[in-house]
């Protein structure tokens, strides 16, 4: 995406020194726009760990590029295979539940099998990692194209009045490599002069909506309004939401959706008010081994401090403030499950389908045979 006149991805190689991976430091947004250089496997590990980079596709890409950096660290080593295997295990261990991370790391490792020459190893790793980035980017672009007609149709029905889209969390280009998933059709609509307006859920506890989605949309000039996570139901009751677009961490073959905590509440409100609720994702997020999201997907519990503290900008710096009594115990679940019955459909790079086993099976017949 273009930021202040310059083209960016959320991760890229330094043009002048291709042994350096560059990323936007997402912990500092929206208050400071800073890039970080990651020059070693350990740098990549730490950047994922400390949330400098986040979002499933971006974490996968970072892991893949981490494997490329591993190939640059083999000079003088006698057991190259063992070094690469260790690097892969180390990177995956950083976020053991992140499917994209282990998938991308393994894919690069696989591509290096049978190669001994250090230069060829590095070149192969780089090509594979960049291919992974390019595929993610291309998938998002296609999600945009597949989602655009939904926005266009509503725009036409409304006689060109802005299409109001509500979103939760950040499934924008910052979470991906470029375009984003839920933002891809929005950016495309905006480019094509279809008026849109986005209701941005702040998305407690980490406020990815307020911090990242708001920043992204603002930088592209897309009109948006920040709201608390409590407000969406009221807006839908008042006819102020035309579409809900959310991302997805994992979907079952029957169309249940695991996504950021609070997604289920928005899906309930959308259903109650006949507002279409679409989930946008690369098809790699569908886990065809899963049938029932509620019983089969484990919901991770996270640090209590994410709830008891809020981070924000004050007097030139980013600081945390405590919002409750000192001794407060907090519960912090990372995501929730939206049952397929509340989901209008899935928008993927392969096309659109309803959120049921038959429609998903038809769209991905190669996976369900």
Q: Which residues bind a copy of itself (CB under 8 A)?
A: 30-31, 199, 202-205, 207, 210-211, 214-215, 218, 224-235, 237, 260-262, 264-266, 268-269, 272, 294, 299, 307-314, 319-325, 327-333, 336-337
Whether 249 sits among the annotated catalytic residues: the reply is yes
Closer by beta carbon to a copy of itself, 21 or else 235: 235
Active-site hit among 249, 315, 326, 336: 249
Contacts of 36 (CB under 8 A, 6+ apart): 22, 23, 24, 25, 47, 52
SS3 93: helix
Closer by beta carbon to a copy of itself, 85 or else 237: 237
Q: What Å distances lie between residue 267 and 56, 274, 336, CA to CA?
A: 22, 10, 11
CB of 345 to a copy of itself, least distance (A): 20
CA distance 361 to 368: 6
Length of the chain: 369
Contact 348, 143 (CB under 8 A): yes
CA distance 353 to 45: 36
Residue with token string 């503290």:
309
CA distance 321 to 221: 30
CB of 333 to a copy of itself, least distance (A): 5
CB of 101 to a copy of itself, least distance (A): 24
CB of 207 to a copy of itself, least distance (A): 5
SS3 42: helix
Residue with token string 């506890």:
205
Catalytic residue positions, numbered: 249
């Amino acid at each position: 995406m273009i930021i202040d006149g310059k083209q960016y991805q959320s991760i890229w190689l330094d043009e002048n020194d291709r042994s350096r991976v560059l990323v936007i430091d997402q912990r500092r947004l929206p208050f400071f726009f800073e890039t970080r250089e990651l020059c070693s496997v350990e740098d990549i590990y730490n950047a994922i760990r400390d949330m400098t980079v986040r979002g499933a596709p971006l974490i996968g890409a970072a892991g893949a590029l981490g494997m490329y950096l591993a190939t640059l660290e083999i000079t003088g080593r006698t057991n190259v295979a063992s070094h690469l295997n260790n690097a892969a295990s180390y990177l995956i261990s950083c976020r053991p539940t992140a499917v994209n991370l282990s998938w991308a790391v393994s894919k690069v490792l696989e591509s290096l099998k049978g190669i001994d020459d250090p230069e060829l190893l590095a070149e192969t790793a780089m090509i594979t990692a960049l291919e992974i980035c390019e595929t993610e980017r291309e998938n998002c672009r296609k999600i945009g194209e597949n989602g655009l007609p939904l926005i266009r149709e509503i725009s036409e029905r409304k006689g060109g009045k802005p299409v109001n889209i509500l979103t939760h969390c950040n499934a924008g280009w910052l979470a991906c490599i470029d375009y984003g998933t839920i933002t891809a059709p929005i950016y495309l609509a905006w480019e094509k002069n279809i008026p849109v307006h986005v209701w941005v859920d702040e998305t407690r506890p980490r406020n990815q909506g307020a911090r990242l989605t708001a920043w992204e949309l603002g930088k592209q000039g897309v009109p948006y309004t920040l709201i608390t996570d409590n407000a969406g139901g009221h807006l839908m009751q008042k006819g102020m939401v035309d579409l809900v677009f959310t991302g997805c961490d994992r979907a079952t073959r029957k169309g249940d959706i695991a996504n950021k905590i609070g997604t289920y509440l928005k899906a309930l409100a959308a259903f109650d008010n006949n507002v279409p609720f679409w989930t946008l994702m690369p098809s790699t997020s569908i886990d065809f081994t899963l049938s029932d999201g509620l019983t089969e997907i484990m919901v991770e519990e996270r640090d209590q401090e994410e709830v008891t503290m809020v981070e924000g900008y004050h007097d030139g710096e980013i600081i945390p403030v405590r919002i409750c009594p000192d001794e407060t115990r907090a519960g912090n679940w990372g995501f929730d499950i939206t049952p397929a019955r509340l989901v209008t459909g899935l928008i993927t790079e392969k096309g659109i389908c309803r959120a049921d086993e038959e429609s998903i099976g038809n769209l991905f017949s190669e996976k369900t045979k």
